[in-house]
Amino acid sequence: MDQLDPLHKLQEFLRFPSVSTQPEHAPDLLCCAEWLRELLSGIGLTASVHSTPGSPVVLAATPRDPAKRTVLIYGHYDVQPPDPLDGWTTPPFEPRITDGRIYARGAADNKGQILAHILGVAKTLGEKGVLPVNVIFLIEGEEEIGSPNLADFLREHREELACDLVAISDTAMAPGNKPALTYALRGIAAMELIVRGPARDLHSGLFGGAVANPVTVLARLLATLHDAKGRVLIPGFYDAVRPLAPWERKAAADLEKAAGGDAAIKELAGVTDLFGEEGFSTIERIGARPTAEVNGIGGGYQGAGTKTVLPKEAFAKLTFRLVADQDPAVILTAAEEYLRKQTPPGVLLEVMTGHSGAAYQNDPNSRDGLAARKALAGAFGSEPLLLRDGGSIPILATLKEILGVDSHLLGLANPDSRIHSPDENMLIENFLGGIRMNRVLLEELGK
Ligand code: BES
Ligand code: ZN
């Protein structure tokens, strides 16, 4: 498998602008899926591309030996939009290697991480001809838009996908780039609001004072989501939240110490001060507490100079990050009721709900959790920290529900990988470490 130069392959993978949220990139997603299929069949797996109502799913598997355990390795080949383009040092789909990092959209989220697993399997197969476990690769093209078609795909292919556990590298290392096993991820529920007022944009002198301004109404509504400390005010929002176990608070404190405390998080975020709910450390607030975030807001005149207008509408895009055992549907309903109650007469509030996925949590001391920890320690040279992270992989709860198995999250992204931001990058040592990690992981899981 010498022709599989890891960095060369990664650069090829990163050149596809596989942006799932933008319809004009559908052909790029298709080409990227086909590229993966060729790679996977080239290393000796039975590989196929399955169309869905959205982007295709790539499946690949070793022959099933009933005497061996089966590991499903999940990843995604779609990426977030590269915007804002002017934030990039070099173009997002022209990978650049410099100072031990590879820069491109998708480098760490998730192309570098899933490719490390593929190349790990390729290496073991090239050297030994067989793997210690059966392996299935499930690589989707819609993770970044909430995996809208994957649950149906899982149901339809339930038998083919039957496995003992899922292994995923789509999370991050701990601050300081220390190895980490993530045992909980937040869930997500998306919502869009439109406040509609007058039939058309009005002269703000002739109508201001007489007509409710949709931008002002929306701003007031959004301001009711939190108290001054960032605690969410939607009634019932925290009712189902599973409290932190004492060992978890200790793990969070250990992590905070190892990670350099709040100073390191400020540095990563580029802020002078942190902000959030009282009674919890920053690390706990990120991983173990739910939030309501405004992701975008718009309305009214956006051009140069001034325009005296009373806009006809305003919009906002929100996502709630959820923790076990909050139900996304319950939260969306509670949020809508709360916002409607406070909407003044004279405007119409339109509420649209978007994708959602429940939070996920497993036991890092389970048999496979311990195997995953050994794999990380073996590849990266120190015992992994235990992490609850704030991001979401919306399909995790569904994998558990449909396939009945746990997912183990062995993140390879460096904490300063800038995923979803300009200049996304992956440390090459993490990528190569991931290839080693896959080999130890499959060995440990096969024991
Ligand atoms: N890889 C991330 C999730 C992640 C990153 C978890 C780092 C923990 C640490 C994933 O690709 C992602 O960005 N998910 C989205 C899901 C959403 C668009 C439905 C997220 O969390 O915003
Ligand atoms: Zn992502």
- Nearest CA to 152 out of 33, 50, 23, 25 is that of 50
Q: Dihedral (C-alpha) 433, 435, 437, 440: value to the nearest 10 degrees? A: -140
Sign of CA dihedral 18, 73, 188, 289: negative
The protein residue whose alpha carbon is closest to atom 9 in ligand 1 is 171
Long-range Cβ contact pairs of 327-330 (< 8 A, separation 24 or more): 327/240, 327/358, 328/187, 328/188, 328/189, 328/356, 328/357, 328/358, 329/189, 329/356, 330/236, 330/240
Structure tokens at 386: 């235990």
Q: Is the CB–ligand 1 distance for residue 172 below 6 Å?
A: yes
What pTM, to 2 d.p., does this model score? 0.93
d(CA 153, CA 167): 18
Measure 243 CA to ligand 1 centroid, in angstroms: 23
Quickly count helices (H) and strands (E) in the chain. Answer: 13, 18
pLDDT of residue 319: 98
Q: Please confirm whether the linkage preceding 365 is cis (ω < 30° from 0).
A: no
Q: What phi, psi does 276 have (nearest 5°)?
A: 160, 175
- Nearest CA to 326 out of 241, 404, 218 is that of 241
Measure 171 CA to ligand 2 centroid, in angstroms: 9
pLDDT of residue 3: 63
pLDDT of residue 175: 83
Measure 391 CA to ligand 1 centroid, in angstroms: 5
Structure tokens at 153: 């795909």
Structure tokens at 13: 């993978």
pLDDT of residue 428: 98
For residue 264, give the H/E element and its range. helix 261-269
pLDDT of residue 1: 44
- Are 430 and 413 in contact, with CB atoms under 8 Å apart? yes
pLDDT of residue 71: 98
Atom of ligand 1 nearest to the CA of 390: 8
Q: Is the CB–ligand 1 distance for residue 188 below 6 Å?
A: yes
Structure tokens at 176: 């300081």
pLDDT by residue for the chain (447 residues), tens only, comes to 456 899 999 999 999 999 999 999 999 999 999 999 999 999 999 999 999 999 999 999 999 999 999 999 999 999 999 999 999 999 999 999 999 999 999 999 999 999 999 999 999 999 999 999 999 999 999 999 999 999 999 999 999 999 999 999 999 999 889 999 999 999 999 999 999 999 999 999 999 999 999 999 999 999 999 999 999 999 999 999 999 999 999 999 988 888 788 998 899 899 999 999 999 999 999 999 999 999 999 999 999 999 999 999 999 999 999 999 999 999 999 999 999 999 999 999 999 999 999 999 999 999 999 999 999 999 999 999 999 999 999 999 999 999 999 999 999 999 999 999 999 999 999 999 999 999 999 999 999
Q: Is the CB–ligand 1 distance for residue 292 below 6 Å?
A: no
pLDDT of residue 4: 83
pLDDT of residue 179: 97
Of the chain, the end-to-end C-alpha distance in Å amounts to 26
Q: Is the CB–ligand 1 distance for residue 391 below 6 Å?
A: yes
The protein residue whose alpha carbon is closest to atom 5 in ligand 1 is 171
d(CA 383, CA 1): 31
